[in-house]
Amino acid sequence: MAARYGTEKAAESLDQAMHQLRGAVEQMRFARYRFSGQHRDVTRAVATLSVALQDVLPYLAED
């Protein structure tokens, strides 16, 4: 159960962090284009991690 809870919390935290990152990038109008490539790379990596976390949930025990 702890592994399932930890995985669910990690997925929720990733989602919240990505929303905060989007807001921060939108507020940095002067540097938006400079960071756009790095932001895209981070977004893809986090999306891959998030999908992997969601894929593993059914295999974790619910004891």
pLDDT at 17: 87
Question: Band of the pLDDT at 52, cuts 50, 70, 90?
Answer: confident
Taking CA 13 as the corner, what is the angle to CA 31 and CA 43, rounded to the nearest 5 degrees? 40
Give tens-digit pLDDT for 1-40. Answer: 566 667 778 878 888 888 888 888 888 887 777 877 888 8
Question: Band of the pLDDT at 63, cuts 50, 70, 90?
Answer: low
Distances (CA, A) of 49 to 12, 17, 26: 12, 13, 23
pTM of the model: 0.67
pLDDT at 62: 66
